[in-house]
Amino acid sequence: MGLRLAIGRLVSSPLFTLFSIIPLGIGVAVTTAVYSVVAALMLTDTGISDPDRAAFVVTPRSGRIQFGSLSDLDFDDLKQQQRSFASFSAAAAVAPSVASTANAEILAAEAVDGAYFATLGVGAELGRVIQPSDDNAAGRVAVISHDFWHRRFAGSPDVIGRPLRINGHAFEIIGVADARYQGLFGKLRTTKMWIPRGSETLIGTRRPSQLPPHQQQRLLAVGRLAADRSIESGAAELATIAARPQHFAG
């Protein structure tokens, strides 16, 4: 399939532009590649540890790059085959109805896997973050943002263990995220809650689609580079994986 992959660096705020289409010409070199690796976490004071070692996987389309454009199958394929990233994770934007003791509200949230917080190096201000042990349908747990904690629970230290009803299903608050961290959407869509991706079927945020599996593109992949790898080597490896005949076979 003659696929080529180019790399680039965003010089504008990446946490402000995620899940949007952004024009080229701002330091991003993309041609006709299926994937591009972008060193996009080059910000300080966001709660992200060593942001220069983290990178997003993006998809060039019509002279622009699109974030959040991997299917579950594509992500699983890349995760299993890549060796450039010490940790590799994915997140999807969701907006469930959330209720505690007060009225329900629609909340900007992210459905994440157990490697998400470790990949970003984001910790908990209180309690714990989502871990690999939460990666199943039984993982009815939630991490809430510092802002939501103060707005909905008045910053109460006994919030850990409190129940939430998410789309009518019982979940438990296990942690409050670092106050500096606002999610992978930044100012565009400040994340208020994180739940395991494995719980999406239960709460109905992952709806059936008529599209072929590889066209159900909803995930943003982010990786933390291994100690001996660079953005360039990571990009080259993903190019190799994308060019294999079995990739995109679904």
Q: What share of the chain is helix, strand, coil (3-state, %, to 5)?
A: 25, 30, 45
Quote the CA–CA distance of 250 and 247 in Å, as a whole number: 8
- Block residue for tokens 């008045």: 154
> Is residue 25's pLDDT more than 50?
no
Task: Please say if the pLDDT value at position 19 is more than 50.
Answer: no
Predicted confidence band of residue 15 (pLDDT cuts 50, 70, 90): very low
End-to-end CA distance of the chain: 15
For the stretch 143-162, pLDDT in tens is 999 999 999 999 999 999 99
Q: Got the DSSP string for 215-242?
A: G-EEEEEEEEE-TT--HHHHHHHHHHHH
Cα–Cα distance measured from residue 202 to residue 167, given in angstroms and rounded to the nearest whole number: 9
Distance CA 139, CA 145 (A): 19
Which residue, chain included where needed, has tokens 């469930």?
Answer: 96
- Pair 46, 179: CB distance under 8 Å: no
What pTM does this model have?
0.81
Give exposure, 72-95, as e/b (b: 16+ Cβ within 10 Å).
bbbbebbbeebebbebbbbbbbbe
Q: What's the pLDDT score for residue 120? A: 92
Residue recorded with tokens 């990178």: 55
Residue range 42-81, pLDDT digits in tens: 455 677 888 888 888 876 666 555 555 788 888 998 899 9
56 Cα distance to chain centroid: 9
Residue range 184-210: average pLDDT?
A: 83
Residues 6+ apart with CB under 8 A from 27: 8, 9, 10, 11
Domain ranges of the chain: 7-89+210-242, 91-203
Residue at 153: amino acid letter: F
Encoded tokens for 60: 């060039």
Rounded-to-integer distance, Cα 100 and Cα 226, Å: 40
